[in-house]
Structure 1
Amino acid sequence: MGSSLRRQDYTEAARRALKDALWHNSINMAELFGFPKEAMIIEVEIAVQDPEAVDCEALKSVFPYGQISVTAVQGGLDVPRPVGLPTVIANAAISVSFDMEKATEASA
């Protein structure tokens, strides 16, 4: 989860959600399966109230490696404030996988 407290910046809320997810989880699957980190297929789904306001391309820079795809969908929460823009809350889901068939074919 990430938020934009005062600017209603959906991309920044999403970026904070991604950084929070990465900070709390280690993605070390590449080493476990003997793949290079660049082979990771990372699929990201960002949920916010205004998916069109998210710069999905800019969010790819959060990840240091891998094949990244980012999609914004309806969700999250906009919390009204008495004065000013609402607080934006974004939720992020990250899925990591590998093309296992490709690796098996290459080693045969």
Structure 2
Amino acid sequence: MEKRLFIQTGFGVDVHGQNITKAAKRAVRHAIYHNSMAGIEAMLPGHDLNQMVVNVKLAIPIDKEKLDHDAIKSLIPYGTVTIEIVDGGMLTTSGIFLADKNDVNDLMYIVNASVETGY
């Protein structure tokens, strides 16, 4: 990325089911869905949204290999999207095991996201 224009942060949790992709998608949505980047087209080369470069950095505590990269990329409607995985996030107890929620243990998966947008 030559020039960063925006950095948005968020976090996501999967309370039951221990699905790292679900937690990561929630983190990315939390980072981007409460913002509007009005005027970004004017800042991009050719004033083209598809010239945007988006780096999604995810701090994941466990099951990194199970992350569905395409599911994360599908959340970003324009530009070229890359995903960077770093150690981080958190595991903590949900306090209850619920078999009907597909729990394999009583852990909550917490993922942190930083979404960097530029060109």
| Counterpart check, 1:69 vs 2:82 | yes
Give aligned pairs, total: 98
Per chain length, whose mean CA-contact separation is higher, i.e. which structure has more relative contact order (CA < 8 Å, sep 6+)? Answer: 2
Q: Who is 1:92 aligned against?
A: 113
- Name the amino acid aligned to 2:117: V
User: Out of 8, 15, 18, which is 1:8 matched to?
Assistant: 18
Map Cα deviations across residues 11-61 of structure 1 (whole Å, 9 max, x no partner): 010001111111122234532315211110000111111222212222100
Any gaps of 5 or more consecutive residues in structure 1?
99-108
TM-score (normalizing by structure 1):
0.80
- Name the amino acid aligned to 1:61: S
Name the stretch that deviates more: 77-86 or 89-98. 77-86
Residues 58 and 112 in structure 2, CA contact (< 8 A), matched pair in contact too: yes
Residues 53 and 80 in structure 2, CA contact (< 8 A), matched pair in contact too: yes
TM-score (normalizing by structure 2):
0.74
Name the stretch that deviates more: 52-61 or 11-20. 52-61
The 1-side partners of 2:79 and 2:16 are apart by 32
Specify the SS of the correspondent of 1:65: coil
The 2-side partners of 1:88 and 1:24 are apart by 22
Percent identity (aligned): 30
The 1-side partners of 2:41 and 2:90 are apart by 36
| Displacement of 1:83 | 3.2
User: For the aligned residues, what is the CA RMSD?
Assistant: 1.6
The 1-side partners of 2:37 and 2:29 are apart by 13
The 1-side partners of 2:86 and 2:69 are apart by 11
Name the stretch that deviates more: 23-32 or 3-12. 23-32
Residues 32 and 115 in structure 2, CA contact (< 8 A), matched pair in contact too: no
Any gaps of 5 or more consecutive residues in structure 2?
1-10, 98-104
| Counterpart check, 1:27 vs 2:37 | yes
The 2-side partners of 1:87 and 1:27 are apart by 32
